[in-house]
Structure 1
Amino acid sequence: MKIKRSLAKEGDVLAEDIFSMTNHPIMNKHTVLTARHLSVLDRFLIEEIDILRDTVKTEKREKESMRKKEEQNSHEIKDDSFVSIYLQAVKKYKLLFENWRAGALVSILDVRNTIFPAVLKGMDDPRSILMLHHYTKAKEYIYFHAISVAVLSAFLGKRLKLSRGDCLQLALAGALIDCGMAKVSSNLLHKEGPLTSEEMKEIKQHTIMGYNMLKKAAGIKEAVLLGVLQHHEREDGSGYPLGSKGDHLHIFSKILAVSDVYLAMTEERPYRDKQSGFKVLEMMMNDQFGCFDHRVLNSLIDSLSIFSVGTQVKLTNQEIGEIVFIEQAYPTRPMIKLKTSQEIIALKNRRDLFIEEILS
């Protein structure tokens, strides 16, 4: 009897061979399903299978499953916060990425449907952008990073006066900048220690592999392709894969470069804790001067420096304070009145401290 994949369980026996995008079955008739088999079915997006099982028990379980799913959907509809929508996008993107690793082609429509709810919710909200690095799980970094880059890139595109259509295309490019990682050795994706020179050489191929993957996708625009290919290029020519610079870089590439680096430096990684966004902004301004388009980087700094006198903040030493004065020359380092001691400190003179979060 045919049932939905979601109703299959360990111990069920296949009544027919299962095919996907292959000439040979990915699973043979009479296979006794295990947890690994169920995972493979999910990766290949198999929606229905034919099994040998008691009909009455199946129908009862199907009704119960449908009831639970309706309750879950009802709960999800009520929770329309950015965090909820963002986490749903990450979950769906993970499935897409695993399918690419298994050999599936990239569907632009599927990627759009996955990311756009989060992009549209977050692209007008600087506070949501400031919180992105708090959601990332180190072991699933690549999935969180894709959605975060999509949201931040659209956010920056809008502030740089790009059209709404271009902002959404920019978000699409942001979600796809690391699609080529699906073709990189799996052990490199989750390696916790430093990469060898040979491993780094392989990782750097992800821009070209991603470009080649996307050339085959229906409905993709040239700007998206260039964004994916060039997002590791730098204004001074120090990037890769071609060492292009300045006017030879597409505006999408310039925006994606800033978004990618800012988020990569703030997010938790297997080998490093998350970092303050304001600390990272300073590092990008100072340590990596000349690498990024100044219009894009200044737009990010201006957008995220959403302070006003009276704003409550948490510092990297976990102390809470209130902003009492902002110097225009130091937008990320205002004067803070500490809540516990009532001491007023000037962050421009305290290079060991940064703003960790804006509280209110």
Structure 2
Amino acid sequence: MAIKRYVISAVEPGMKLARPIFRDNGQVILYDGTVLTNFHIEKLRYFDVSYIDIIEHPDEYHPAQDVSAPPSDLSTIQGFQTLYDSTVNTLNQAFNSIRFLQEIPLAELRSMVGQAIMPMIDAVGVISHLQNVQHQDEYTFHHSLDVAVISGVLARWMGYTGQELEEIILSGLLHDVGKARIPLAILNKPEKLTTEEMDIMKLHTSKGYQMLNETKTLSPAVLCGVLQHHEKLDGSGYPLGVNEEKIHPYAKIIAVADIYCAMTSDRVYHKRRTPFKVVEHISQEMFNKLDPAVCTAFMNNVKDYFLGSVVKLSDGREAEVVYLGIYSSSRPVVRTKEGEFIDLERNKKIVIEG
């Protein structure tokens, strides 16, 4: 592999970055393996990068179109869906490389964090968009992307920035990578797993950790996020059954994102729950199962996406969410089409069903 240094003025779209680019504070600007677009080149100029190292493929080099730059209408569901579908397809190929070729394309996955997932996190209405995007058949790929996005949004709400934010997103993206070592008969079983099958499925956390640890390129924090995202504060989780003090902060964030994404998705053996019911479930698991600081940050911020939502009530009526309390995002005040206001926190007989 030939590597050549270019001044930034000579860099063109389609060139492939040979080495990662860092800011003075250690934050990664672009990862190695990134196929540069006009969007990336402008980003490098913004950070006053003078030169970069490029992988030379003179026989294979074809200037690429600027397809990786986030669409200008990413705040719309159509623009979000386009980037989402493209990212899922890339993730599908990456996971197939892991399962069938025994190769982990980390450079490609890292590039995905900066090129696709960060723009999604920055998109206006990202939580709502994730509820509305059309999913294809493969749950694993959609779930991995959804968890990465929600983990990034949640981490940002908690004040994470720079390299730590990117590591949390990457760890969320890789959190289920160990499922590439789970038999497809169990992974794709169209009904609820038996106890024995569930025990095998639970091995995905430790298998994922082992696979990624062998690459010798990921930080211990990213690895802990993958290994521990099913651990619980009371020690009832897996694979190690450790308690609160021994669970890494990244894993505590991914745990909440994982639950939210899993419960708001359709599966063969259960229908998707409404975000309101999932928030109620998360609030019930605060303190004993899930980290209270993470849950509080999630519930206090996600309610902004619920205001104005049109919902279906258990009595058959449609209503608009008009008010959410500080601690009760799951049971808001709604206004029916007839103009009646209902406080669901007081009226326990009515719940939001859709």
- TM-score, with normalisation over the residues of structure 2? 0.73
Alignment of 1:48-63 (within 5 A): none
Report if aligned partners of 1:122, 1:129 keep a CA contact under 8 Å in 2.
no
Match of 1:159 among 139, 142, 157: 157
Aligned to 1:105: 103
Secondary structure at 1:232 match in 2: coil
Corresponding pairs, count: 285
Aligned to 1:259: 257
Say yes or no: does 1:313 pair with 2:309.
yes
Which is worse superposed, 143-152 or 101-110?
101-110
Shift of 1:320: 4.3
Report if aligned partners of 1:315, 1:353 keep a CA contact under 8 Å in 2.
no
Aligned to 1:92: 90
Measure, in 2, the Cα distance between the counterparts of 1:321 and 1:221: 47
Report if aligned partners of 1:139, 1:270 keep a CA contact under 8 Å in 2.
no
What per-residue deviation string (whole Å, max 9, x for no partner) do you get for residues 97-127 of structure 1?
1111103321221112234333212324573
Secondary structure at 2:88 match in 1: helix
What letter corresponds to residue 162 of structure 2 in structure 1? R
Secondary structure at 2:304 match in 1: coil
Q: CA 1:186–1:327 in 2, change beyond 3 Å: closer, same or farther?
A: closer
Between structure 1 and structure 2, the one with the greater Rg is 1
Q: CA 1:183–1:136 in 2, change beyond 3 Å: closer, same or farther?
A: farther
Measure, in 2, the Cα distance between the counterparts of 1:274 and 1:352: 19
Aligned to 2:207: 209
Aligned to 2:180: 182
Say yes or no: does 1:345 pair with 2:342.
yes
Alignment of 1:1-360 (within 5 A): 80=74, 81-125=79-123, 127-135=125-133, 137=135, 139-286=137-284, 290-306=288-304, 311-317=307-313, 319-339=317-337, 341-348=338-345, 349-350=347-348, 352-354=350-352, 356=354
Report if aligned partners of 1:170, 1:224 keep a CA contact under 8 Å in 2.
yes
- TM-score, with normalisation over the residues of structure 1? 0.72
Which is worse superposed, 287-296 or 96-105?
287-296
Percent of aligned positions with the same letter in both sequences? 30
Aligned to 1:22: none
Aligned to 1:43: none
Report if aligned partners of 2:92, 2:141 keep a CA contact under 8 Å in 1.
yes
Measure, in 2, the Cα distance between the counterparts of 1:74 and 1:208: 33
Shift of 1:301: 0.6
Report if aligned partners of 1:136, 1:144 keep a CA contact under 8 Å in 2.
no
Shift of 1:218: 4.8
Secondary structure at 1:242 match in 2: coil
Shift of 1:323: 4.1
Shift of 1:196: 1.4
Measure, in 2, the Cα distance between the counterparts of 1:265 and 1:138: 17
Shift of 1:328: 3.4
What letter corresponds to residue 314 of structure 1 in structure 2? V
What letter corresponds to residue 125 of structure 2 in structure 1? R
Report if aligned partners of 2:276, 2:352 keep a CA contact under 8 Å in 1.
yes
Measure, in 2, the Cα distance between the counterparts of 1:75 and 1:170: 22
Report if aligned partners of 2:308, 2:320 keep a CA contact under 8 Å in 1.
yes
Report if aligned partners of 2:68, 2:116 keep a CA contact under 8 Å in 1.
no
Higher helix residue share: 1
Aligned to 1:15: none
Report if aligned partners of 1:156, 1:300 keep a CA contact under 8 Å in 2.
yes
What per-residue deviation string (whole Å, max 9, x for no partner) do you get for residues 127-178 of structure 1?
3123424436373110000111111111111111123211111100001011
Measure, in 1, the Cα distance between the counterparts of 2:120 and 2:68: 22
Measure, in 1, the Cα distance between the counterparts of 2:136 and 2:270: 9
Measure, in 1, the Cα distance between the counterparts of 2:68 and 2:288: 50
Q: CA 1:136–1:100 in 2, change beyond 3 Å: closer, same or farther?
A: farther
Secondary structure at 1:106 match in 2: coil
Measure, in 2, the Cα distance between the counterparts of 1:74 and 1:128: 18
What letter corresponds to residue 118 of structure 1 in structure 2? A
Which is worse superposed, 198-207 or 130-139?
130-139
Secondary structure at 2:130 match in 1: helix
Aligned to 2:24: none
Measure, in 2, the Cα distance between the counterparts of 1:276 and 1:167: 27
What letter corresponds to residue 310 of structure 2 in structure 1? K
Alpha-carbon RMSD: 2.8
Measure, in 1, the Cα distance between the counterparts of 2:263 and 2:99: 26
Gaps of 5+ in 1: 1-65
Measure, in 1, the Cα distance between the counterparts of 2:73 and 2:302: 26
Shift of 1:335: 1.7
Q: CA 1:129–1:223 in 2, change beyond 3 Å: closer, same or farther?
A: same
Secondary structure at 2:196 match in 1: helix
Report if aligned partners of 2:97, 2:105 keep a CA contact under 8 Å in 1.
no
Which is worse superposed, 239-248 or 311-320?
311-320
